[in-house]
Structure 1
Amino acid sequence: MDDCIIIGAGPAGLTAAIYLARYHLDIRLFDSGSSRAAMIPCTHNHAGYPDGIAGKDLLALMQAQAEKYGARREQVKVTGLTRDGDDFIVRTDHGTHHARTVLLATGVVNHRPAYLLPEVHDPALARGLLRYCPVCDGYEVTDRRVAIIGTGDHGMREALFLRGFTRDVTLVSPEAEHALDPACAQALDDAGVVRIEGPCGGYAIEGDQLAFDTARGRMAFDSVYPALGSRIRSRLAVEAGARASDEGCLEVDDHQRTSVPGLFAAGDVVKGLDQISHAMGEAGVAATAIRNLLAERRPLRR
């Protein structure tokens, strides 16, 4: 039986693997290959990399560090998680495993604009024409022409956030008319944010911009931010009995413990800032709490 199974191999999962392996614990790291960090063409706000680092390169370095201390990464998809007394049964598409503790670091999946096909989405993402995190890369669109695809309170808040980086901000409704209450509309007007109705479609890279159709005709922008929400990948923990918010974010305490004893969570699957540094910090807290829990059950001695 494993001391801990980590589900998810993004920044949170890999950080936890480094900590737990260095605590001389027997762990497994399950990786479905869908870390959102791998989508980052180059992050410039992760401390220690003044010239930036690609998400895939950062993950590769963290994986090599975890493996150096004996962490085992397995490319499998976890399909189920259940309690077995004080322990857990983890079912995957390659078999079943037993663990004393589990750390869920499965993150979230961004909702992509409808009709934006992969052959346009992926190159646009790689070139910074399409972006998903203004906290991460708002600086990179300073004084550029920016569009946000979204509406309602969420779209309004993202537009106002980006207004701190550029004057040229346009909020485009994804499907039809905007769903904005008077307060949202007034806030956008006060900030000088242009509002345009959808539907959006016909996405294409045109020169150094991403262009698409709107109710006002075809428009092109230096960068486009979808503000369409995300799907929190918390199903496994919820099915095992863990509490979550209405949006699906797992509820944890100060030690990253869920409401199920022995089940921990870290990173974007927990309500927070959705940042690499934040996920890594939570993982360090979770890993140490896991180590201490296991030490309460049986002495950890060399």
Structure 2
Amino acid sequence: MTLDAIVIGAGPAGLAAAIYLARFRRQVLVLHDGDSRAAWIPRSHNHPGFPGGIVGVDLLDRTRRQAEAFGARIEEAQVTGLCVDGAGFTVNTADRSLSARSVILATGVVDRLPELPGVEAAVRRSLVRICPICDGFEVTGQAVAVIGDGPLGAGEALFLQTYSDDITLIHTGAAGDLPDGERQGLAKAGVRLIEAPIQEVTLDHDRLSALAFTEQGKLEFDAVYTALGVDPRTDLAIQAGAQRCDDGRLIVDDHQETTVPGLYAAGDLVRGLNQISTAQGEAAIAATALHNRLREMSAK
């Protein structure tokens, strides 16, 4: 059987796309590996509709149940291959091959995390933070450290001055990785710059409160952000022939269609804002464009 659509990824974008497609009365299957980045969110306070905030896994569960209520099928499976097959696509998993007239990719990104003990668990507990747009408000007035290895770290440190005047950039890359322009901007803004590897991490009352360095000794912070960048999960798109931007994310048009007709993408692997609301909006656009494309194809 050839499905109308397969959605790969069950984060906010993939599940939102499934809701729309199911309500368009399309036969849609969502395949995911059980590792949504949104599940790391301890509590989101900037997602509209939840004044008290919402835990990432709870948001995913609510959205999944909503998609299933309208008839979307959601299955955990590792997708190993994607290719154009005639007028549609073949999607391969470890144990089967599936056919679909269209595909939406919502595979997200992988964060580059610093080499700190238990760093993934620390992110889930907000001991290490990865998104100042998401939760910078929560560190208002605190002593904040940003771990970076290039211009991205400098930019994030300056951004966090929206919330605090006590910002330190811990530059872990080579000296040449931080251009003079960024150094001058940091100095002008009053951001402290440390260029040394992190030797030790101290937990105090369930907080990552101190980082030790070779020359500076041990410095205490209320919050620590990592700004080492991300790697978009575009392997499947590349297999299908889709093209990427210079930053590694997928090229899409105004309707979220990639350079491969019938292959759409939404969420973090497309644009750099990495926000739930943005991902869901892109998913709505992609699903609607997909539905209309299939309608036009059926009318011919």
Moved over 4 A (4+): 175-178
Please state whether the residue corresponding to 2:137 is helix, strand or coil: helix
Note the C-alpha offset of 1:175.
Answer: 4.9
Is the CA contact 1:176–1:198 (under 8 Å) kept in the aligned structure 2?
no
For 1:132, the equivalent position in structure 2 comes to: 130
Note the C-alpha offset of 1:274.
Answer: 1.1
CA RMSD, 1 decimal: 1.6
Kindly provide the CA deviation profile for residues 9-40 of structure 1, in whole angstroms up to 9, marking residues without a partner as x: 00000000000001111111001111111100
Is the CA contact 1:6–1:17 (under 8 Å) kept in the aligned structure 2?
yes
Distance 1:231-1:277 versus aligned 2 partners, 3 A rule: same
Distance 1:220-1:178 versus aligned 2 partners, 3 A rule: farther
Note the C-alpha offset of 1:204.
Answer: 3.6
Note the C-alpha offset of 1:178.
Answer: 6.8
For 2:276, the equivalent position in structure 1 comes to: 276
Instruction: Please give the alpha-carbon distance, in whole angstroms, between the structure 1 residues aligned to 2:188 and 2:204.
Output: 31
Instruction: Please give the alpha-carbon distance, in whole angstroms, between the structure 2 residues aligned to 1:176 and 1:217.
Output: 20
For 1:38, the equivalent position in structure 2 comes to: 39
For 1:287, the equivalent position in structure 2 comes to: 287
Q: Which among 142, 147, 153 is matched to residue 151 of structure 2?
A: 153
Note the C-alpha offset of 1:95.
Answer: 1.4
Note the C-alpha offset of 1:152.
Answer: 2.4
Is the CA contact 2:4–2:102 (under 8 Å) kept in the aligned structure 1?
yes
Deviates more, 1:208-217 or 1:162-171: 208-217
Segments of 5+ residues of structure 1 without an aligned counterpart are: none
- The one-letter code sitting in structure 1 at the alignment partner of 2:245 is S
Q: How does 1:16-95 map to 2 (within 5 A)?
A: 16-95=17-96
**Number of positions where the alignment pairs a residue of Structure 1 with one of Structure 2:** 297
TM-score scaled by length of structure 1: 0.94
Instruction: Please give the alpha-carbon distance, in whole angstroms, between the structure 2 residues aligned to 1:43 and 1:233.
Output: 23
For 2:102, the equivalent position in structure 1 comes to: 101
Is the CA contact 2:268–2:274 (under 8 Å) kept in the aligned structure 1?
yes
Instruction: Please give the alpha-carbon distance, in whole angstroms, between the structure 2 residues aligned to 1:193 and 1:201.
Output: 21
Percent identity for Structure 1 against Structure 2: 50
For 2:251, the equivalent position in structure 1 comes to: 251
Distance 1:179-1:277 versus aligned 2 partners, 3 A rule: same
- The one-letter code sitting in structure 2 at the alignment partner of 1:286 is A
Note the C-alpha offset of 1:245.
Answer: 1.1
Please state whether the residue corresponding to 2:231 is helix, strand or coil: strand
Instruction: Please give the alpha-carbon distance, in whole angstroms, between the structure 2 residues aligned to 1:80 and 1:4.
Output: 16
Kindly provide the CA deviation profile for residues 275-297 of structure 1, in whole angstroms up to 9, marking residues without a partner as x: 00000000000000010011112
Deviates more, 1:204-213 or 1:44-53: 204-213
